[in-house]
Amino acid sequence: MARVKRGFKARRRRNRLLRHARGFRNARSRAYRIAQPAVQKAWLYAYKHRRERKRNYRALWITRINAASRANGMTYSKLMHGLKKSEVQLDRRVLADIAVHDPEGFGAVVSVARASLK
């Protein structure tokens, strides 16, 4: 049986990992043994923060909606309750965008919510 030295396969595997470590500083981008845990940790953080980003954006939208609704004389919770009662199908992302870019339109949304609460 022929001897297998694994040079090509091992080098290809290491180079694949080192390509993911490009942009890291010092030996973390050059030395395989140091780059390997750095890349694995980077993948872990990327996975975790893709989920965390969704939470952060929702919190930002809620803050923007609350600020705009208070400027129109209503709290966030009452606004959302009124919109749900009046069956307005606007999600928080769209409401936050309206609040930032179209204050008059957001005022109309608040008036719809206020009317449904009475």
pLDDT 10s digit of each residue in the chain, 118 long? 888 888 899 999 999 999 999 999 999 999 999 999 999 999 999 999 999 999 999 999 999 999 999 999 999 999 999 999 999 999 999 999 999 999 999 999 999 999 999 8
Altogether, the residues listed in the chain come to a count of 118
Domains, the chain, in order of start with CATH, read: 52-118 (1.10.1900.20)
Burial of 23 (0-12, 13-18, 19+ CB in 10 A): exposed
Q: Decide if 109 contacts 88 (C-beta within 8 A).
A: yes
pTM of this structure? 0.80
Judging by beta carbons within 10 Å of its beta carbon (0-12, 13-18, 19+), is residue 109 exposed, middle or buried? Answer: buried
- Per residue in 95-107, pLDDT (tens digit) is 999 999 999 999 9
